[in-house]
Chain A
Amino acid sequence: MGATRTARTLAEKVWDEHVVRSTEGEPDLLFIDLHLIHEVTSPQAFDGLRLAGRQVRRPDLTLATEDHNVPTVDWDKPIADPVSKTQVDTLRRNAEEFGVRLHPLGDVEQGIVHVVGPQLGLTQPGMTIVCGDSHTSTHGAFGAIAFGIGTSEVEHVLATQTLMQAKPKTMAVTISGSLPAGVTAKDMVLTLIAHTGTGGGQGYIVEYRGQAIEELSMEGRMTVCNMSIEWGAKAGLIAPDQTTFDYIEGRPEAPKGEDWDAAVAHWKTLVTDDDAEYDKEIVLDAAEMTPFVTWGTNPGQGVPLGSAVPDPASYDDESDRVAAQKALEYMGLEAGTPMREVKVDTVFVGSCTNGRIEDLRLAAEIIKGRTVDPDTRLLVVPGSVRVRLQAEQEGLDVVFKDAGAEWRGAGCSMCLGMNPDTLQPGERSASTSNRNFEGRQGKGGRTHLVSVPVAAATAVRGTLSSPADLA
């Protein structure tokens, strides 16, 4: 990204606004507007501060919540697993000692860190947002540069409110046309990742644009940006527009009055200039997209729901062939099996990819008046307590429970299987989360990544399905 260019992309504009210090031969020192924290990747960072006698520089730009390692049942009781309890207690102690705002289990603002930030109105256009979690890219949906960091960097941000970062290249992903009915943001991003491979975005900040992106709700945009990391991108973002402003306005931490006007005036400048150049461009047509599911053990190994498990022999590249072979063995699948015949034991609706209110409404709409297949378990886990309460107010919990689903408390849950919500060895899931890695949802567990409508229809039929398959 040449700093001398006058026409700039959205990512370049946001980046430039946050450079504290720039020196030839060194990474830029970037100011961080918002640092999100959770119990799993922060204890060692706070320890580092203590050892060095350092403080948190800007507790007022830091927010902690408990999500990865908390139970989604009995959340009003002490955490049963002593090791998990220690981790959660450690976050509580650290938050108190260093003056960081925390939304603990039981608090009405508790939930998955990437659901909580936007919902509080803390996630706004043009910001830099980091968190010790790779799906921080979610916040890019608002036109922010948002990315995941490791624990050493968490410590660095706590101590300095900055990060040293080499300026990435920029890429445009243009999704033209409109998505057909029944095809969602999740199908869009799974199609994209199958197209690029898991390393295709490496070294880039990606801007998603085009008609199909503009037509997405904020929830849909978050789903797309969330999975940027699954194709290796540093971050993914979308230019803010009226949809963005409408979502933010009136939220607890949104600017008010004159501040709101000043903020919106600035946010409106956060678009890529007409003659700006990207280092790379990809164009896909939304009109050709269909419900899309994964068959393998990385998010790039996906196919349309209407097709079959691919034959490893069909890959030209040897390492792809070997990877496909290994994936099929792990997944217990035969090449040529129609995806619709794949039988599923557990359906998981939730995560920072698809655990927002819009997702739960969509699932409930499909489930309503139907029942979950007797051999299948449906787990519905709201992304935050607010989402849970909203859903309960709308009666969605009753729809799920009447159909035979489990209605849970907020958290990451089976997305990463760190709490007791896991798959058993050999068990197969259809999951609205973002990773189908070996063992991600429990040792030996087999994951198919799917959209919310596919998850709901699959729960009813017991095999991978779309709502169109329901009589």
Chain B
Amino acid sequence: MDKFTQHTGVGVPLRRSNVDTDQIIPAVYLKRVTRSGFEDGLFSAWRNDPDFVLNDPAYAGCSVLVAGPDFGTGSSREHAVWALQNYGFKAVVSSRFADIFRGNSGKAGLLAAQVDEKVVQKLWDLLEAQPGATVTVDLESRTVRAGEGPDAIEDSFDIDDYTRWRLLEGLDDIGITLGHADDITAYEQTRPRWKPATLHA
């Protein structure tokens, strides 16, 4: 995984709450067996609407999504994270993420930055007033910044220490865990024999 320290890119205001993973990518797009190519299904139901924000050329090349609360609820599909990444997003800013989505983002290298609801509101207002404006997410200092002058927005975001460290270092989780293989083996020896197994000798 690539290291993530800071990213600056065009921000998109997605003025919706409860954006579940079926909205991010519907089930019919989940038939692929690769991790790429899911951008075609991203927000597919809304992309037909010419007024949908991603269809506005002013936000072309966007890479920071700013969404309402309860983003990524529902299905555990990591395809939702891949679809956002395949489309070009590096970070999602929201006031509340569903647990599984947040976990998946951390594993796949998409930054899920949780901010206060007021910050989302301010970012929406700014990005709508100045389409194409950039947003910076700084993982080192856990801050989100946008705009200039008196209207500039600067606030902190939440991310758990462990995920932050892994993203900053670009570390592979499995590699870390395999470093503790002895602990796993020791644990396995303590399991009671009546625990079920799927294969029988």
B is a partner of A: yes
A 67-107 to B, binary, CB cutoff 8 A, 1 in contact else 0:
01100000000000101101100100000000101000000
Could you say which of B26, B194, B197 contacts A61, with CB atoms under 8 Å apart?
B197
Name which of A5-13, A27-35, A270-278, A372-380 contacts chain B: A27-35
CB pair A149 B27 closer than 8 Å: no
Beyond A260-B194, A266-B192, is A152–B78 a contact (Cβ under 8 Å)?
Answer: yes
B198 within 8 A of A: yes
CB pair A150 B81 closer than 8 Å: yes
CB pair A440 B174 closer than 8 Å: no
A333 within 8 A of B: no
Chain B residues positioned under 8 Å from A255 (CB to CB): 194, 196
Chain A residues positioned under 8 Å from B78 (CB to CB): 41, 44, 132, 150-152
CB pair B76 A133 closer than 8 Å: yes
CB pair B30 A152 closer than 8 Å: no
How far, in angstroms, from A33 to B190 measured CA to CA in the complex? 13
Could you say which of B32, B68, B96, B100 contacts A150, with CB atoms under 8 Å apart?
B100
CB pair B174 A160 closer than 8 Å: yes
Chain B residues positioned under 8 Å from A184 (CB to CB): none
How far, in angstroms, from A332 to B31 measured CA to CA in the complex? 30
B23 within 8 A of A: yes
How far, in angstroms, from A449 to B191 measured CA to CA in the complex? 41
A52 within 8 A of B: yes
CB pair A202 B195 closer than 8 Å: no
B70 within 8 A of A: yes
CB pair B194 A323 closer than 8 Å: no
B151 within 8 A of A: no
Within 8 A of B (CB), among A307-329: 319, 322-323, 326
CB pair A202 B96 closer than 8 Å: yes
Chain A residues positioned under 8 Å from B98 (CB to CB): 199, 202, 232
Chain B residues positioned under 8 Å from A62 (CB to CB): 198
A279 within 8 A of B: no
CB pair A148 B100 closer than 8 Å: yes
B199 within 8 A of A: yes
B69 within 8 A of A: yes
CB pair A34 B76 closer than 8 Å: no
A176 to chain B, nearest CB (A): 28
How far, in angstroms, from A426 to B18 measured CA to CA in the complex? 21
How far, in angstroms, from A323 to B70 measured CA to CA in the complex? 12
A155 within 8 A of B: yes
A358 within 8 A of B: no
How far, in angstroms, from A266 to B192 measured CA to CA in the complex? 10
A1 within 8 A of B: no
CB pair A54 B174 closer than 8 Å: yes
A280 within 8 A of B: no
B35 within 8 A of A: yes
Given contacts A43-B33, A199-B70, A418-B28, 19 further A-B contacts (CB under 8 A): A26-B162, A29-B183, A40-B31, A63-B198, A86-B33, A99-B199, A150-B78, A150-B100, A151-B79, A152-B104, A153-B103, A156-B174, A202-B99, A232-B99, A253-B197, A319-B68, A417-B27, A417-B28, A437-B22
30 contacts between A and B (CB under 8 A): A34-B196, A41-B78, A43-B34, A54-B174, A60-B199, A63-B198, A81-B31, A83-B31, A84-B31, A87-B32, A127-B196, A133-B75, A133-B76, A134-B74, A134-B75, A148-B100, A149-B76, A149-B100, A151-B78, A198-B73, A199-B73, A232-B99, A262-B192, A263-B194, A319-B17, A323-B18, A417-B28, A418-B28, A435-B20, A439-B45
Residues of chain B having any CB pair with chain A under 8 Å: 16-18, 20, 22-23, 26-28, 30-35, 45, 68-70, 73-79, 81, 96, 98-100, 103-104, 107-108, 160-162, 173-174, 176-178, 180-181, 183-184, 187-188, 191-199
